[in-house]
Chains A and B, each alone.
Chain A
């Protein structure tokens, strides 16, 4: 590779970088706009107690024992309360696959964060609904 060849290479590199300056940036303003999550996204779970049969298949399938089941806590005929420990959960999706009664699903909500570790244990009140506090910043509300 001679001197002239190197110069050519250098100009090609400069061309690539120079073009990049005028390209639209890839990133987006994360908390204010969010990307489209596909339906399959393995985010936090939602537990539908109407169809749950308290079979505990999800508890047995979980590789990290992130689910605790409380069979006494019945709202309907034969359901149970599930406690999801999101400090442990890997979002592997096995519990959802194990549930044969269409009672447990993933949701596309992936930004779980709490100020307290204990708040990450989602009890039956949180895990059965999708409600959550909207994000507020500088007086604007997002998502």
Chain B
């Protein structure tokens, strides 16, 4: 039985009439009473009346229950359709939320281990094997901390913004083609077989990130946070354009703005072979856009304590901390998708395994590069991005254009088979 709005609407008037009649009767019964008032007769009828009310209430409840059951039925019916079920499974379990969260936890551990190695330390060691459970311990510690909201902070914004930031950073993962089959959007069997603008959508969503940094800096009511927020905006202002333009190269070679098609086009040759400089510009711009080490002016701890995160505490800090790692993960995944051939690779491995291996390598590079340079000043970040990265990436676009037109064997090579 499916819920039908029009049937329901048609019955509504009868119900209204019934209620009105009942009310009318209720109002009129003293006048319609004949003869002398017989208390006992009245008293005898009282039970019927109470029973009636109970029945009426029961009717409403009954109807409500049936309605809810119907509604659940209806949703269950939708979910159990094969394509819907697979979509939900993908969105929530496999390349979706739970997978991303597990990957995030792994990433934090991985990053900390490599940082530790770089700094001659061992990193987390005690919780679990090789400190694998350290993150859970840290998360419990951070969550159980007292949340101190500064007096001058805008309380509700302060509470909502960090989680919104995490949501925004997690959203673009939906567009990453992890595998030929196991994809949220863009797999051949899903309801959205090939989202033709996923590259643009990823950047569109990511543009919101510095807005959140700026807002968090603004609403925390501290000067350090405010300066940090502006520096975050400045970083994004510097890095966004070179990054987007660097991603134009692969898109042009593949002739598509869909990440899935870009990966499919790299079956013959990975674009890093054709566009090494483009890869480097994207890499540097991605680091600048995340705001980790050489470009960590927004959270420079020797200048502005912790930038826009200074006033965050407890769970809010945890969420923002995760968001930063999620962003690094996202950019590494984007680099794998755009330049390293995504799930293409060793044929005897599953696509996702190929992807994960490349992703780990890129992430490793990410960490090594981020931890070998000194923090740049904000104006130097803009200088670097606009004086070196932007011309290089634009030059690349031009070169790709000419190459596509004038080099004869190129198009069949890069379109993929």
- CB pair A21 B369 closer than 8 Å: no
The interface residues of chain B lying within 8 Å CB-to-CB of A17 are 118, 368, 371-372
Query: What's the minimum C-beta distance from B120 to chain A, rounded to whole angstroms?
Result: 4
Number of B residues contacting the other chain (C-beta, 8 Å)?
A: 13
**Nearest CB to that of B114 among chain A residues?**
A21
The 9 sampled A-B contact pairs (Cβ below 8 Å) are A13-B373, A14-B368, A14-B372, A21-B118, A21-B368, A22-B117, A23-B120, A25-B120, A27-B120
- CB pair A14 B117 closer than 8 Å: no
Instruction: Tell me whether B116 is interfacial, beta carbon within 8 Å.
Output: yes
The contact size tier of chain A is 10 to 19
The interface residues of chain A lying within 8 Å CB-to-CB of B114 are 21
The interface residues of chain B lying within 8 Å CB-to-CB of A14 are 368-369, 372
The interface residues of chain A lying within 8 Å CB-to-CB of B117 are 20-23, 25
CA distance A18 to B370 in the complex (A): 12
- CB pair A16 B372 closer than 8 Å: yes
Interface digits, A63-102 against B, CB 8 Å rule (1 contact, 0 not)?
A: 0000000000000000000000000000000000000000
Contact of A26 among B121, B125, B371, B372 (CB under 8 A): B121
CA distance A27 to B368 in the complex (A): 20
CB neighbors of B among A3-52 (8 A): 10, 13-14, 16-18, 20-23, 25-27, 29
- CB pair A20 B373 closer than 8 Å: no
- CB pair A25 B121 closer than 8 Å: yes
The interface residues of chain A lying within 8 Å CB-to-CB of B383 are none
The interface residues of chain B lying within 8 Å CB-to-CB of A18 are 368
Total residue contacts A-B, CB cutoff 8 A: 34
Query: What's the minimum C-beta distance from A99 to chain B, rounded to whole angstroms?
Result: 41
**Nearest CB to that of A29 among chain B residues?**
B125
CA distance A10 to B283 in the complex (A): 15
Query: What's the minimum C-beta distance from A10 to chain B, rounded to whole angstroms?
Result: 8
Chain A residues in the interface with B (C-beta under 8 A): 10, 13-14, 16-18, 20-23, 25-27, 29
Query: What's the minimum C-beta distance from B376 to chain A, rounded to whole angstroms?
Result: 13
Beyond contacts A22-B117, A25-B122: 14 other A-B pairs, Cβ-Cβ < 8 A, are A10-B373, A14-B368, A14-B372, A16-B372, A17-B368, A17-B371, A20-B117, A21-B114, A21-B117, A23-B117, A25-B116, A25-B121, A26-B120, A27-B122
Task: Tell me what chain A mostly uses at the interface: helix, strand, loop, or mixed.
Answer: helix
Interface digits, B67-87 against A, CB 8 Å rule (1 contact, 0 not)?
A: 000000000000000000000
Interface digits, B381-398 against A, CB 8 Å rule (1 contact, 0 not)?
A: 000000000000000000
- CB pair A13 B118 closer than 8 Å: no
Query: What's the minimum C-beta distance from A92 to chain B, rounded to whole angstroms?
Result: 31
The interface residues of chain A lying within 8 Å CB-to-CB of B120 are 20, 23, 25-27
The interface residues of chain B lying within 8 Å CB-to-CB of A29 are 122, 125
CA distance A27 to B223 in the complex (A): 38
The interface residues of chain A lying within 8 Å CB-to-CB of B372 are 13-14, 16-17
CA distance A16 to B372 in the complex (A): 9
**Nearest CB to that of A138 among chain B residues?**
B126
Interface digits, B114-148 against A, CB 8 Å rule (1 contact, 0 not)?
A: 10111011100100000000000000000000000
The interface residues of chain B lying within 8 Å CB-to-CB of A26 are 120-121
Query: What's the minimum C-beta distance from A51 to chain B, rounded to whole angstroms?
Result: 44
Query: What's the minimum C-beta distance from A109 to chain B, rounded to whole angstroms?
Result: 24
Query: What's the minimum C-beta distance from B125 to chain A, rounded to whole angstroms?
Result: 7
The interface residues of chain B lying within 8 Å CB-to-CB of A23 are 117, 120
Query: What's the minimum C-beta distance from A77 to chain B, rounded to whole angstroms?
Result: 52
CA distance A25 to B373 in the complex (A): 21
Query: What's the minimum C-beta distance from B182 to chain A, rounded to whole angstroms?
Result: 31
Name the 4 nearest CB pairs between A and B, nearest first: A17-B372, A26-B120, A25-B122, A21-B117
CA distance A29 to B122 in the complex (A): 9
**Nearest CB to that of B113 among chain A residues?**
A21
CA distance A27 to B122 in the complex (A): 7
**Nearest CB to that of B388 among chain A residues?**
A3
CA distance A102 to B52 in the complex (A): 104
CA distance A119 to B371 in the complex (A): 44
The interface residues of chain A lying within 8 Å CB-to-CB of B373 are 10, 13
CA distance A20 to B117 in the complex (A): 7
- CB pair B121 A20 closer than 8 Å: no
**Nearest CB to that of A22 among chain B residues?**
B117
CA distance A21 to B367 in the complex (A): 11
Query: What's the minimum C-beta distance from B416 to chain A, rounded to whole angstroms?
Result: 32
The interface residues of chain A lying within 8 Å CB-to-CB of B125 are 29
CA distance A13 to B118 in the complex (A): 12
The interface residues of chain B lying within 8 Å CB-to-CB of A22 are 117
Query: What's the minimum C-beta distance from A35 to chain B, rounded to whole angstroms?
Result: 15
Query: What's the minimum C-beta distance from A93 to chain B, rounded to whole angstroms?
Result: 31
CA distance A14 to B280 in the complex (A): 14
The interface residues of chain A lying within 8 Å CB-to-CB of B121 are 25-27
Query: What's the minimum C-beta distance from A90 to chain B, rounded to whole angstroms?
Result: 30
Query: What's the minimum C-beta distance from A131 to chain B, rounded to whole angstroms?
Result: 28
The interface residues of chain B lying within 8 Å CB-to-CB of A13 are 372-373
